[in-house]
A and B are shown apart, each in its own frame.
Chain A
Amino acid sequence: MTRSQRWTWLLSVGALIAGFALLGAACGGKSKSASNKPSSSGGGKNQPFANFRIAYDTGTDYLDPGLSYTVEGWSIMWNVYLPLLGYKHVNGPDGATIVPYLAKAMPKISSDGKTYTLTLRKGLKYSDGTPVKASDFRATIERDYKVDSPGVGFFSNVVGADAFSKTKKGHITGITTNDKTGQITIKLTQPQGDFQNILATEFAALLPPATPAKDQSPHPAAATGPYMIQSYKANKLAVVVRNPQWKSNKATGISEVPNGNPDKMTIDILGDPGVALTRTLKGQDDYDFQQPPPDRLGTLQSKYSNQTKVYTPANTYYFFMNNRVKPFDDVRVRQAVNYAINRQALVRVYGGLANPTENVLPPTYPQYKKHNLYPYNLAKAKKLIAAAGVKGMSITVWNHDRGQDPKATEYLTSVLNSLGFKAKDKIINSSVYWTTIGNQTTKAQIGFADWFQDYPHPLDWFDVLLNGTRITPTHNNNYSNFDDKAVNAKIASLKKQTNLSSSVNAQWAALDKQAMQQAAWAPFINRQFVDTFNSDIDLGCYVNHVLYQFDFATICHK
């Protein structure tokens, strides 16, 4: 061995030893105890809180109420942009109660159910000092159309909305306003049972009329709520501060919107759930919006159980199956997928924090009636596939790249391969996933989808996700392109019911079964979530809303 060979040998061995030493240090090193420094001065229940720091995820699409259609966007904005109506800021089912926000009172509804009349409170101002006018409501809805908002479908029943959507000129004739009296009149083409809920969405939150018809996330629009967005840098940071006009707005009688405890909310957008959890437990952030990695649940329970809250929002996780694309244009194939997936297995894929389901509606709904159409039966699934004559067909399974969700489609791919298909995954970035699968030119065959309610009403599930008459070429929410005439007719009929009586609820439950007999989707779980806080937070203040989940504004120090 020459001198240089000896050196090469020594260096190689040295590098290996150093590598193992580093590995050992990385795995075996004990973390220092959490500093848990308080983030701010102040303290006590319902006392002011200087800066509430949130470890957020990267799912925020926009911070523009006309464009955002994610839990992340809405969780921030429901304390910023107020609609005419809204929800009570309380825990439990009472949170689904609609109350007046910017409107003086609940709307007067004509006897035919087609005309809604509301009156704007007097003396309201936007955070920039501009007075709020009744005509701003019409301008806001028209802006939704101009920015190609994902929420425009909610307003399609308003008289003149369809015509406006084509020209985007003039006004929506069905909305008339009077700035002097503050009166707002909305005329519908037919009665609509969920229209008050729609008026309570962020898409109907009033914006100044001069707000440009383009994404305002980088330069947030003026607010009407207790907070305003001071700045937003996508995928980095959002800062929310108190609205200087809120005191006077509140004085107009908005009793159902609390002032909020934090003076400021700093939203740190982080890509890694492990990092978000560590930052929160170490006191660098106050609240972890992200879900902890499943293998850290044990540590959370043993060391930080008094800093966590487990909750089940109204959600359904499902696999969509495109009815317009082979092989899922055949109901037998869709049924086979429903038989072949073992929902208990998928519960474990999500770390056990889920309940299996094959319903469209989540169990928190009074219209929910559990059905058992597809018990796990791989043999039956294989028979259905053989009968359909599609064995050996290539299938692409779509999903985004965030959290545990890719594992669900890896499981599905394995199941499809066991059924005799040639299946493979296609994982794309979460920021473009929904628009990609919602575009008809993609022709996505099958993939992952989930749904968290926009408002607590069955129409938000069936009309938005399964109504064949609402399929669109782009931004389509009916990823399955499910278009069953009987189901469409039933949705149209139930849409007219303004009162959710027990008989109406039973009809919704029957519709759930009817859609699943056609195997519109393969629903698999209702997921549970964990909110984690640092030790400085008093969870006695914790409010988890049925729609917006954890209400950031209610938080307080110990």
Chain B
Amino acid sequence: MAQPATETEFTLDTAAELAAEESGAVIRGRSPWYLAWRRLRRNFVAFAFLGLFVLIVVACILAPLYAHHVAHSGPSNEHVLDTITVHGTKVDVVSKGGVLGGKLVASTPVGPQWFAAGGKYVLGADQLGRDIAVRLLYGGRTSLFVGIVSSLICVVAATILALLAGFYGGWLDFVITRFFDLFYAFPVILLGIALGAALAINGIHLGPIRANSGNIMIPTLVISYVLIPYVGRPLRGQVLSLRQKEFIEAAVAQGAGPLRIMFTELLPNVASSILVFFTLIVANNIVLEAALSFLGAGVQPPTPSWGTLISDGQGLIVTRPWFAIMPGLAIVLTVLALNVFGDGLRDALDPRAKVKIEH
């Protein structure tokens, strides 16, 4: 006797419902990816936040257009002594300050002009008269680049280590696990500051890996490096579990070599976790980049990033609070978008999985 359907997340994807939807057509085999896609596309919240993320990415990609055609200034062009016309009145981009007429006067950059200055200084200027809106968009390019590239490096390295440790076991597993433990022992931010500050002076010169100080690859590599164990360790657990399954034994019995087993048998089975990890860790890494840059151990000035912009805005938090709030808001929205979409993706790929980044 058929059991009554209960309201669960899996109900929609039961074979019976699929069959009903296809109105009696031949029931075709469905791949797990297809099933995941079906689940994901019904998650409107996840899609809304994916849309938000795409919007932010597109805005940042179009930063040069905005800088050239709207703001008429590059991200690092100073305009300390320039003036702008607001409603017919000339205004200093950075006002005169000091002891004027026997009184202490603050030298303050213009606040948000929205569109009163013909597209210039929509969000105001910083102490060097640079357009904050332009720097916000360019800063987004930097932060997203660091976040995405560092996540890619981290996930690739962590996956390789997890496959090696989980598949071979023994002393190799011991060495890799201790490497993970070693990094677990340090708080991520502390380790990031230590590495970032040390590499800020001389850069990285490790064989083929060469990056001079100030190179954006330094914070990218530091961030990817410190988070490898946080992805590698749970993946290793999954590989260890899969290693005992019958399909692996079958592959071994068929004479498959270690590389083939790792990359054609094990890897596809952890791919969904890797994908979820990736989306979650991009968000995590954007926050980490902002933290390191805020503390001076990440992206080096004058290259803008959301972290350096918050740090710059800190000095003007009383008179020009938007300067610090806007990059903060950009980080919040980006991270929220990625996390909500990542959660949706996780629910779609494997609703029982408990993949999350903890440190």
Q: Does B213 contact A (CB under 8 A)?
A: yes
B300→A348 contact, CB < 8 A:
no
Instruction: Scan residues 201-249 of chain A and give those whose CB is less than 8 A from a CB of chain B.
Output: none
Q: What separation, in Å, do the CA atoms of A519 and B97 have in the docked complex?
A: 29
Instruction: Scan residues 118-165 of chain B and give those whose CB is less than 8 A from a CB of chain A.
Output: 127-128
How far apart are B169's CB and chain A's nearest CB, in angstroms?
37
Q: Does B105 contact A (CB under 8 A)?
A: yes
Q: Does A263 contact B (CB under 8 A)?
A: no
The segment out of A43-51, A297-305, A382-390, A477-485 that lies at the interface is A297-305
Q: Does B325 contact A (CB under 8 A)?
A: yes
How far apart are B84's CB and chain A's nearest CB, in angstroms?
15
Q: Does A342 contact B (CB under 8 A)?
A: yes
Contacts of B14 in A (CB 8 A): none
Q: What separation, in Å, do the CA atoms of A326 and B46 have in the docked complex?
A: 55
Count contacts on A: residues with CB < 8 A to the other chain: 60
A301→B321 contact, CB < 8 A:
no
Q: Does B200 contact A (CB under 8 A)?
A: yes
B315→A12 contact, CB < 8 A:
no
Using known A-B contacts A9-B45, A352-B97, A353-B97, determine if residue A296 contacts B106 with beta carbons closer than 8 Å: yes
**Beta-carbon nearest neighbor of A344 in chain B:** B81
A426→B214 contact, CB < 8 A:
yes
Contacts of B213 in A (CB 8 A): 396, 426
**Beta-carbon nearest neighbor of A1 in chain B:** B44
The segment out of B72-80, B182-190, B258-266 that lies at the interface is B72-80
Q: What separation, in Å, do the CA atoms of A169 and B296 have in the docked complex?
A: 44
Q: What separation, in Å, do the CA atoms of A17 and B139 have in the docked complex?
A: 25
How far apart are A312's CB and chain B's nearest CB, in angstroms?
10
Q: Does B336 contact A (CB under 8 A)?
A: yes
Q: Does A417 contact B (CB under 8 A)?
A: yes
Contacts of A296 in B (CB 8 A): 106, 318
Instruction: Scan residues 400-445 of chain A and give those whose CB is less than 8 A from a CB of chain B.
Output: 401, 404, 406-407, 410-411, 413-415, 417-418, 424-429, 432, 436
A297→B97 contact, CB < 8 A:
yes
Proximity bits, B26-53, A CB within 8 Å = 1, else 0: 0000000000000000011110010000
Looking at chain A's contact residues, the main secondary structure is helix
Checking B44, B99, B106, B200 against A427 with a beta-carbon cut-off of 8 angstroms, the contacting residue is B200
Contacts of B316 in A (CB 8 A): 293-295
Q: Does A251 contact B (CB under 8 A)?
A: no
Q: What separation, in Å, do the CA atoms of A12 and B319 have in the docked complex?
A: 31
A295→B44 contact, CB < 8 A:
no
Contacts of B343 in A (CB 8 A): 8
Q: What separation, in Å, do the CA atoms of A61 and B104 have in the docked complex?
A: 31
Contacts of A308 in B (CB 8 A): 104
Instruction: Scan residues 307-354 of chain A and give those whose CB is less than 8 A from a CB of chain B.
Output: 308, 310, 342, 344-354
Proximity bits, B245-282, A CB within 8 Å = 1, else 0: 00000000000000000000000000000000000000
Checking B45, B49, B315 against A293 with a beta-carbon cut-off of 8 angstroms, the contacting residue is B315
How far apart are A455's CB and chain B's nearest CB, in angstroms?
27
Q: What separation, in Å, do the CA atoms of A426 and B199 have in the docked complex?
A: 11
Proximity bits, A119-160, B CB within 8 Å = 1, else 0: 000000000000000000000000000000000000000000
Contacts of A528 in B (CB 8 A): 98-99
Q: Does A15 contact B (CB under 8 A)?
A: yes
Instruction: Scan residues 1-36 of chain A and give those whose CB is less than 8 A from a CB of chain B.
Output: 1-5, 8-9, 12, 15-16, 19, 23, 27
A348→B103 contact, CB < 8 A:
no
Q: Does B289 contact A (CB under 8 A)?
A: no
A417→B76 contact, CB < 8 A:
yes
Q: Does A530 contact B (CB under 8 A)?
A: yes
Checking A401, A428, A530 against B104 with a beta-carbon cut-off of 8 angstroms, the contacting residue is A530
Q: What separation, in Å, do the CA atoms of A360 and B231 have in the docked complex?
A: 56
Q: Does B22 contact A (CB under 8 A)?
A: no
Checking A15, A300, A354, A396 against B336 with a beta-carbon cut-off of 8 angstroms, the contacting residue is A15
Using known A-B contacts A4-B9, A294-B315, determine if residue A310 contacts B104 with beta carbons closer than 8 Å: yes
Contacts of A300 in B (CB 8 A): 104
Q: Does B65 contact A (CB under 8 A)?
A: no
Contacts of A436 in B (CB 8 A): 201
B106→A294 contact, CB < 8 A:
yes
Q: Does B223 contact A (CB under 8 A)?
A: no
Q: What separation, in Å, do the CA atoms of A432 and B319 have in the docked complex?
A: 32
How far apart are B304's CB and chain A's nearest CB, in angstroms?
11
Using known A-B contacts A294-B127, A310-B99, A426-B214, determine if residue A348 contacts B80 with beta carbons closer than 8 Å: yes
Q: Does B237 contact A (CB under 8 A)?
A: no
B200→A298 contact, CB < 8 A:
no
Using known A-B contacts A5-B43, A351-B97, A396-B214, determine if residue A413 contacts B302 with beta carbons closer than 8 Å: yes
B300→A301 contact, CB < 8 A:
no
A305→B80 contact, CB < 8 A:
no
Contacts of A415 in B (CB 8 A): 78
B128→A1 contact, CB < 8 A:
no
Contacts of B303 in A (CB 8 A): 424
Q: What separation, in Å, do the CA atoms of A411 and B46 have in the docked complex?
A: 43
Beyond the given pairs A347-B98, A411-B78, 11 more chain A to chain B contacts, judged by CB atoms under 8 angstroms and listed by A's residue number, are A8-B343, A12-B49, A19-B332, A274-B314, A348-B94, A351-B98, A351-B107, A353-B97, A404-B315, A407-B128, A436-B201
Q: Can you list 11 pairs linking A and B with CB atoms under 8 Å apart?
A: A8-B344, A298-B106, A310-B104, A344-B81, A351-B97, A352-B100, A353-B97, A353-B98, A411-B80, A414-B77, A425-B302
Interface of B toward A, CB cutoff 8 Å:
7, 9, 43-46, 49, 76-78, 80-81, 94-100, 103-108, 127-128, 197, 200-201, 213-214, 296, 300-303, 314-321, 325, 328, 332, 336, 340, 343-344, 347
